[in-house]
Every structure is written in structure tokens, then in C-alpha cells.
Amino acid sequence: MPYKYSIILPVRNGGHYVKECLQSILAQTLQDYNVILLDNSSTDGTVEWIRSLNNERIVVHTSERSLTIEESWARIKNINKNEFITLIGHDDILHPHYLEEMDRLIQKHPQASLYQAHYSFINKDGQFTGYCMPMDEVQYGHEFLACQLARTMDSMGTGYMMRSSDYDKIGGMPENYPNLIFADYELWVRLCLINYKATTGRECFSYRVHQSVSTQTNGEKYQDAFGKYVQFMAALSKENEAVKNVIDRYAHGMLMYFCESLSHRLLKTPAASRKMRVDDFITQCKAYAALLIPGQPFEPGNKFRISIAAKLDSNPVSRSAFYFFKKITK
């Protein structure tokens, strides 16, 4: 029978987390949904366990070979989906009323192009660690981007609800971002710009703060993904005056923040595993500033944590001392 919603769950060796996640999905009070599991060559019995449930709501797609995360998530736009879809990380948990609340939100805001709920954070053991930052009920695309750039909003991959037709029309999750870092940022902005995002004030799911792909990715890949997101914003600002005004106002702080954080991520990445030095990235950030906010002064070298990262990375001795210090303090 046709359903209104599809809950899409990409997974590779989900272990006990995917069992907890799927059980939370199957416990939804609103029954108008199916589950689409996109397995990526799991070898831990994930698929076998799911099939043993013999639940007609669950549709399993397997892969003939091991896929990259980009290839795995790219399958979403090519599969049969219901009218609305939501994507969930295999270690996150939906509260029983999630779909019921999202259905109510869609009825209240039928013109919205993206939907979201408030949520809590849990640690790897499932213990509560905090709540997400509050979000407005109605948020247009340029407002959503402003909150991203100013870091006044938590934006994770789980919980967002969208129309399948909109998702497919804009090309789905952008595949050109290494490990899909920043890819969801672009996706949510594009969807918001179709009309607006509606958010319920009710807490509807738990996001697990875990050793994700992004936290394990080396600094060079992370920097590459950041550069692609900068290019996306630069192109968008030429098309949308409201977006351009947001970028003029908030991009300086965003660039300085990521220049600092990614300089240190690069520094923590062994030199043999990367082609880029911290100095190179700082120079690249200046180029990003010239692209996004031409005419605004941007001097990252004047910030202590950025300059010290460049100095520590400048020669093997200081770099080795830094690695040793991080090791013993950890």
C-alpha cells in the first residue's frame, strides 16, 4: 500500500546503534510511512537482522560492491520514495511522536519546502547531554543561511523533512563534497530557498554526538569541502540579493572561524598524509574572503591561534613537538 512518508536510513555496519535506531522508527505513533534502508556492503549482520524482522514496511537496498559515502547517499535520488522523505543517521533516535508532529507541521505550513523539529543531544551511550539551540517557526532561505554563518543554530543531518519531488529536482545530496562534509548545508539552503523552512518547537528526536565521518576526516579533505561550500555561496550571492546581504554581514566571522578551526585540523593531520600546509590554507582563506566579501579587510594572520598554527606547522621539529604534546595531553 502507498504511504505518505519514507524514512531513509543509509547504513554500513550499523552494529547495535542501527537496531536502536530502527526500533525507534518502527515505534512511530503515526503509521503512514515505510522505511528505506540503503545498505553499503555491511559485514556485521545488519541486513540479516533487519530481514529477520520480516516487516513489510522495510524496503532494503543492498550494494554489489563497497561504495564511498558519496556514492551510497547518491542512491537516494534514484530510488522509489513516498511524497515526503526524511534522512536519519543510523545512530540517531526518533521519538515516537516524530512523524505525528511533522505531519501536523506540514498541515499547518503546507507551502513550506523544508520542515524540522527541535531535538536533544545524546552521547555514544545514549545519555542526554543537552538541547539544540532554539529555532524560529518560520525561516526563509537567507535567514537560515544567516544562522548557519553566525553559528546561532545547530544544523545536523537528521530530522529534516522534505518533499521527494523537491529533493530530486535540486539533484539530491550534492556528491562533490568529500565525505559529504558541508553537503547537507548546501542541501538545506537550496530547499529553504524554494519557499521557507517550518520548525516545530516540540523536541522530536535525539542526535548522537559520535565519532562521525567528519570528525575522523583529515584536515585537507575538510578544507576541500569547505572550499566547495564557499564556491556555492559565492554563486548564490550573485543570484539572490537577500543572500548577498547576509554574506556581506556574516561571512567575515564565518571565514575567520573556519580559518582557525581548519588550520588546527590541518596541523593535527600528519604531514605525510596531506599536500597542504597551514600557511597554504590561510592564503586560501584570504582568497575566499576576496571572493565572498570583496573590499572587506580580512587578516587571519593577526589572530593568535591561527598564527601559532602556522608557526608550529612551519618545520618538522615544532610539528613533532605539537604531536607529542597532543598525545600526552590526550
Cα within 13 Å of Cα(282), Cβ side: 23
Q: How far is CA 91 from CA 77, 157, 209, in A?
A: 22, 12, 9
Predicted confidence at residue 11, as pLDDT, reads 94
pTM for the whole structure = 0.92
Predicted confidence at residue 215, as pLDDT, reads 45
* Over residues 83-87, mean pLDDT: 98
Q: What is the band of 273 on the pLDDT scale with cuts at 50, 70, 90?
A: confident
Q: What is the mean pLDDT of the chain?
A: 93
Q: What is the C-alpha separation between 174 and 167, in angstroms, rounded?
A: 11
Q: State the burial class of residue 224 (Cβ atoms within 10 Å of its Cβ: 0-12, 13-18, 19+).
A: middle
Predicted confidence at residue 324, as pLDDT, reads 57
Is the confidence at residue 330, as pLDDT, over 80?
no
Q: What is the C-alpha separation between 41 and 46, in angstroms, rounded?
A: 10
- Residue-wise pLDDT for 10-51, tens only, equals 999 988 999 999 999 999 999 999 999 999 999 999 999 999
Is the confidence at residue 316, as pLDDT, over 90?
no
- Pairing mode of beta strands 5-11, 84-87: parallel
Range name among 14-23, 211-220, 262-271, 317-326 with the lowest pLDDT average: 211-220
With DSSP H G I counted as helix, E B as strand and the rest as coil, what are the percentages for the chain, rounded to 5?
50, 15, 35
CATH number for the domain whose boundaries are 5-214: 3.90.550.10
* Over residues 88-96, mean pLDDT: 96
246 near 239, Cβ under 8 Å?
no
Domain ranges of the chain: 5-214, 235-329
